[in-house]
Structure 1
Amino acid sequence: MQNAQATIPNIPAEITVRIDRLPSCWVFWRLIALLSLGGFFEMYDLFQTAYLSPGLLSSGIFHAGAKGLFGLTDQATFAAATFAGLFIGTIVFGSVADRFGRRAIFTISLLWYTAASLAMSMQNTSVGVDLCRLIAGIGIGVELVTIDAYISELAPRDLRGRAFAVNQSIQFAAIPVLALISSILIPNAPLGIPGWRWVVILGASAAIAVWFIRRSIPESPRWLAQQGRFDEARAAIAGIEVRVEAELGHALREPVPTASEAGGTGKFSEIWVPPYRRRTWMLMVFNFFQTIGFYGFGNWVPALMASKGANVANSLQYSTIIAFMYPIGPLLCLAFADKYERKWQIVTAAIGTASFGLLFAQQSRPGMLIVFGMLITLSNNLLSYSYHAYQAELFPTRIRARAIGFVYSWSRLSTILTSFMIAFFLQNFGANGVFAFIAGSMLMVVLSIGIFGPRTAGLALEEISH
């Protein structure tokens, strides 16, 4: 560790090479798992739209038919409220993690959404439920941006793809958990309390784990160095190195000098100057369209199943089976996460989502609906892990969180509209119309990333930022 300080006088560059020399070991993966655990509760909350709607309908809080906002369903309004909150969280508050640090905002945003979710579990009107979802969505939006920045800065260059794959697997494990709990609780009323309220309360119990998670995670050494807090940055990376060397039983290899970034506090205007301007526009287009495929299917699985003839109970059961692909898919990606260019993984995933979606729309037998539903989910898994890693790589540390927040906000804006568009296509054109809409959106993903996306595989974050 002393050699690194002696041979690399630029402290941000020193921190970079000390991070990039870290090997794959339990200490590193434990940090990724702890960060991802915060995201687990976010995903549990985020995907409630599909699973809570039947319970809210049976409780009389939601109503069947086009009785919600803009004459569409209450489910569409519920989903729109969620993503309106996410939009506000990412575009308005996305920069707070650049200003106050990854660790503090990671904790505060988790507590924020937990409080809002508990409040939602006590509501008796659709307006009250939607308002609480809006507020909870703000916390989720900030949290997800912070986790992406955090992981990209803690992961060595050769492990960055796998780190995001593991992160996504742990986060997405919340979806089958949510589906299973929902299938058990929502048709019932334990202790006389409607099942949908229990589902929300269980997710909000994330607050119990927050303080344990927070104590075990250091602040991002890269962020500390960029803020000029050099002693704290060195102390943070030294703490990780000591634990890694204790696990390995020998000293870490000598660091190799690499490029460094400009220090100081970044400004939002930086994303509009070369080389970031082109990346910003590309990711704005990409995020607007990618979320149509991801949430257009994920948030509407039970409704899509019902449109193919399944009753409420069966649609929830089929959705639960499909949901088990969410944590499995990213684990399969571990085999190639850091071997192939991220941009081509995104393109491949988009083609898969479009193709399998169109085939799903042609099925009527439960077995085939489940098979193609699982294949769509697998493609969406590949898309999600790869783009979360990719967009976090394309901006420097000083503006990473606000840049991710801004480009990511376009996916949230899109999903507000998508909630109503999916409802419109489903009501008027059935599953065929829904998946034609999704396929067109995936074509835009292929074109934007395939043509304009820079290469990032095997490069340090500081090299990519130049």
Structure 2
Amino acid sequence: MLLSLGGFFELYDLFQTGYISSGLLAENIFHLGSAGIFGISDQAAFASATFFGLFLGASLLTPYADRFGRRITFMFALAWYGCFSLLMAFQHHAEGVIFCRFLVGVGLGLELVTIDTYLTEWVPTHLRSRAFAFAFFIQFLSVPAVALMSWWLVPQTFFGLSGWRYVVIAGALCSLVIWLVRKNLPESARWLAQQGRYEEAHHVVSAMEKRCGVAVSPAYIQADAVVELPRKGTFKEIWSAQYRSRTLMLMTMNFFQAIGFFGFGNWLPALLSGKGTSVTHSLLYAFFITLAYPLGSLICSRYADKIENKWQIVLSSLMTVIFGTLFAFQTSAIMLIICGFLITYSNAWLTYSYHAYQTEIFPTHIRARAVGFCYSFSRLSTVFSSIMIGLILQYAGTQGVIAFIVFSMLVVMLVIGLFGPKTRGINLEKI
């Protein structure tokens, strides 16, 4: 629950991209088209800066979670992004907003990967997928929350501050409160054992057993432990013959799934506006559509552990292809909401499936490093796809953007369906 609450405010912060942009435009901080500071729309630059920061955080900093531990890493990352998010709320120029957003992204990239790694190491084999589905139910409650708050606050001004600033401030302050609560989280017992710290691992597991009301394990005796030197993971190891194909598979999957997920999620108000709805109505419609994020994860938690994760990724991508195509041809408000809701449902299904899947297929001593590197390609793709979607929306409209998303999800289906190993019911170290 504590991990999920931390993830709640991370996703809240992440999904602000599309919702607060109209407020930044109204305050003349952001500008459209070539009037932007980089010669492109400031909204596109804002999104790209976010995901470039996510790329650097996930690719360069996640190895520290393997070196120093899961707990201290995500505590650092949470404090980092909360502070810089708060600082962003008081910027008055596009340069300051975009630079702070880049720094926020660095913390988010590190935090999201560490949460996934921590969760998969604590949950029993038969509950891994269900645990991820429920965790994302909590985290995805942030998406309708930020949509509703944006619909209410962005058009307003309170005490001389524009409404978009309050949307940012709320997320930043709450994340810092969660930081204080999460100080009591234990370290990953699996990571401690891999480091040779068996007594600490036993203490952590015993404390967890006591809280869960199950029989506490016998007292730790040094002779009971299998003495082996801690394994130090290296970047080179993820390219060994044993893991090379998995690394390439996840790099490709992450690159293309991000186009479908964030291409629709972050640009939803703009896509609805492109269908002829007003800013206020597009934000209201977006709120109803984004309810599918938490509802989808909650419903999926009922069957998450009954289907192989690789096939859940394939089926959820297929669902996005079908309803994404239908969305492109709708004109009525009710059909836009229905199709958008079902696309969002499929994205929620895809999200918990691939987050669980990519943490399962690497061993403990390189898990954070490998997942962070592969996951960073989803952020790298979004740096460029944010700009591409902005251009496609400008010249080819909503239908062009949906076609781009559909193609990306077809690639995800093929690469996971053909090359993904099975993981259901298998111990982490044996996959």
What is the TM-score with the length of structure 1 in the denominator? 0.89
What is the aligned length?
Answer: 423
1:329 aligns with 2:287: no
**Alpha-carbon displacement from aligned partner over 1:175-206 (angstroms, at most 9, x marks no partner):** 11111111111100112210011111001011
- Give the equivalent residue in structure 2 for 1:112: 80
- Give the equivalent residue in structure 1 for 2:55: 87
1:35 aligns with 2:41: no
The amino acid across from 1:207 in the alignment is L
1:309 aligns with 2:276: yes
1:134 aligns with 2:102: yes
**Could you tell me how far 1:64 is from its partner in structure 2?**
3.0
**Could you tell me how far 1:70 is from its partner in structure 2?**
5.4
**Could you tell me how far 1:261 is from its partner in structure 2?**
10
User: What pairs up with 1:294-305 in 2 under 5 angstroms?
Assistant: 294-305=261-272
> Alignment RMSD, CA only?
1.7
Of 107, 120, 127, 1:159 maps to: 127
- Give the equivalent residue in structure 2 for 1:182: 150
**Could you tell me how far 1:444 is from its partner in structure 2?**
0.8
- Give the equivalent residue in structure 2 for 1:150: 118
Partner of 1:71, secondary structure, is coil
* Structure 1: gaps (5+ residues): 1-32, 253-259
Q: Give me the whole-angstrom Cα distance separating, in 2, the residues matched to 1:300 and 1:441.
A: 16
- Where in structure 1 do 4 or more consecutive aligned residues deviate above 4 Å? 260-263
Q: Give me the whole-angstrom Cα distance separating, in 1, the residues matched to 2:145 and 2:411.
A: 32
Partner of 1:123, secondary structure, is coil
Q: Give me the whole-angstrom Cα distance separating, in 1, the residues matched to 2:259 and 2:228.
A: 35
Contact 2:37–2:94 (8 Å) recurs in 1: no
Q: Give me the whole-angstrom Cα distance separating, in 2, the residues matched to 1:418 and 1:67.
A: 20
- Give the equivalent residue in structure 2 for 1:209: 178
* Higher alpha-carbon deviation: 131-140 or 55-64: 55-64
Change (3 A) 1:458 1:261: farther
Contact 1:159–1:338 (8 Å) recurs in 2: yes
The amino acid across from 1:393 in the alignment is E
**Alpha-carbon displacement from aligned partner over 1:11-33 (angstroms, at most 9, x marks no partner):** xxxxxxxxxxxxxxxxxxxxxx1
What is the TM-score with the length of structure 2 in the denominator? 0.96
Q: Give me the whole-angstrom Cα distance separating, in 2, the residues matched to 1:391 and 1:310.
A: 38
1:265 aligns with 2:232: yes
The amino acid across from 2:258 in the alignment is T
Partner of 1:338, secondary structure, is helix
Contact 1:345–1:386 (8 Å) recurs in 2: yes
1:196 aligns with 2:164: yes
| Identity over aligned pairs, percent | 54
Q: Give me the whole-angstrom Cα distance separating, in 2, the residues matched to 1:158 and 1:348.
A: 21
The amino acid across from 2:101 in the alignment is R
Q: Give me the whole-angstrom Cα distance separating, in 1, the residues matched to 2:228 and 2:148.
A: 46
Q: Give me the whole-angstrom Cα distance separating, in 2, the residues matched to 1:160 and 1:67.
A: 48
